[in-house]
Amino acid sequence: METLSENTAFGGVQGVYKHRSAACACDMTFGLFLPEEAQDGPVPLLWYLSGLTCTHENAMTKAAAQGWAAEQGIALVFPDTSPRGEGVADDAAYDLGQGAGFYVNATQAPWAPHFRMWDYVAEELPALLTETFAIDPTRQSITGHSMGGHGALTLAMNLPGRYRSVSAFAPIANPTGSDWGRKQLAAYLGDDESTWAAHDASLLMRDKGFNGPVLIDQGASDQFLDLLKPEALAAAIASRRQPATFRMQKGYDHSYFFVSSFMEDHVTFHASALWA
């Protein structure tokens, strides 16, 4: 693993690291904030999964998360959103290919050799973090924005017991029923829609739910509401009688101004579960 940078922040260290990924068959980069408490032993970990077109850097620099994480004594990891580099398949559209991994394991050409973001986030990167840094693998929670909110919710519901809490900012909530989802799931997983259900938060909520605290924030003035379909997730939460907090935030759009405005709430929400 290569250290690309390390900066002191809020008494801890914000690092950026690169390593060779077996899951994605390429070099992958991630950001990791370790609070001061990590000097004395393993600390809880909050995952932040980013959205379309983002890298590890967007949330790391725009979400205003590190100060709140330092206050709570928890680590933050910011994975990239897809494999990258020469020989990695891409597409001219911003919502497919590099920067748009959708947190699935692709089975279709030309994506299958590299686009295994599910295995990367669920298995490979957690193992690397706990082997290399002062991270407590028994205390993990997950959040994300947009495509990353989709990833956070689907990982949390498909991996029971892994995460103590889950939250999302403006998640792609019903990709099997949206142009932000049908296009990508067909490209990555093929035309058999039965394989898509495991990657749809609304369907998973109806079928499985989540055994822990759930927090969803959605901007009421989000320019992508018709693609995100928050109403499908809200209906699934109600149908299952899932304990959850679902908030429509008046006046907020899809930007990092929205995310940073409510980041304190989300970090505090997860810290309560991580330290319980």
Q: Which residues are catalytically annotated? A: 146, 222, 254
Determine the Cα–Cα distance for residues 144 and 171; give it in Å rounded to an integer: 8
Which amino acid makes up residue 38? A
Determine the Cα–Cα distance for residues 273 and 138; give it in Å rounded to an integer: 12
Determine the Cα–Cα distance for residues 73 and 179; give it in Å rounded to an integer: 39
Residues 6+ apart with CB under 8 A from 86: none
User: Using an 8 Å Cβ cutoff, are 232 and 202 in contact?
Assistant: yes
CA count, 13 A, side-chain hemisphere, 3: 8
Determine the Cα–Cα distance for residues 155 and 264; give it in Å rounded to an integer: 22
Q: Could you tell me the CA-to-CA distances from 58 to 47, 62, 63, 65, 78 in Å, in that order?
A: 14, 6, 8, 11, 9
Determine the Cα–Cα distance for residues 225 and 222; give it in Å rounded to an integer: 6
Residues 6+ apart with CB under 8 A from 16: 3, 4, 5, 6, 29, 30, 31, 32, 56, 57, 60
Determine the Cα–Cα distance for residues 166 and 238; give it in Å rounded to an integer: 17
